[in-house]
Amino acid sequence: MRHPRVFHMMSVTAWPSVQRHGLLSTLRLIDLFGLDTAERDRLLSSPRKQSTVLSAPGLPPAVIRDQKPMKFIADKIGPDSSLGEYLNAINSRVFFWASPQRLNRLRHAKDYRTEEQVVLHVDTRALVERHGPRIELCRLSSGAVTQQNHPCRGHRSWLPIADYPYDEYRRRHGRDNALVEVTVIDVVPDILDLTDTIEGAIG
């Protein structure tokens, strides 16, 4: 297998919630915590400028990440999509990095390098066996638009495994850039069953 492990990084604050519920998309977290219309709109209708810690009686806290790397996203939506469709697609997914190199870029980014993080090393084969029909792949870091020369993107930037042209992308972009993101639509409730290494976890 070309990518035997994929990687998910979270704030240590979110770890108890992941232990209880698994990995949930932003939309599923908002539903779980019963946020009102105004708060849903604030978190979903435009790129988030800061992370938000969710809390509710009887639930461990959860964290919705900021979207600061979407700096130029308004100018980089493809003609077959819209900002709203793109954000809905982003907020409907659980994200994994396809390589440790991409993971480490995020881990050492300015906004995260001083924060305590938990990193899950996930068995790719097991993830595909359990959740294959809901897995979609992307050649880009879909939420990173920090330069004006970054490629356009939209809600169709992810493709099912069977439709993903890995060999073509490898020829055109090189092995390290043939696949960047592995995503699961909605939720991965059994993520701990699929994880063989946990970095930074407490409790």
pLDDT tens sequence across 70-105: 999 999 999 999 999 999 999 999 999 999 999 999
Residue 158 belongs to a domain: yes
Percentage of residues of the chain with pLDDT beyond 70: 99
Residue 183 belongs to a domain: yes
Alpha carbon of residue 28 to chain centroid: 13
Residue 157 belongs to a domain: yes
Burial class (CB in 10 A: 0-12, 13-18, 19+), 96: buried
Is residue 169 a contact partner of residue 86, using CB atoms and an 8 Å limit?
A: no
How many structural domains is the chain composed of? 1
Residue 63 belongs to a domain: no
pLDDT tens, residue by residue, 115-148: 899 999 999 999 999 999 999 999 999 999 999 9
Residue 155: domain span = 5-12+68-199
Is residue 160 a contact partner of residue 136, using CB atoms and an 8 Å limit?
A: yes
pTM of the model: 0.95
pLDDT tens, residue by residue, 139-155: 999 999 999 999 999 99
Residue 193 belongs to a domain: yes
Residue 145 belongs to a domain: yes
Q: What is the DSSP string of 80-133?
A: T--HHHHHHHHHTEEEEESSHHHHHHHHTSTTTTTS-EEEEEEEHHHHHHHHGG
Nearest Cα neighbor of 151 from 122, 131, 130, 173 is 173
Tokens standing for 14? 């979110």
Residue 50 belongs to a domain: no
Residue 125 belongs to a domain: yes
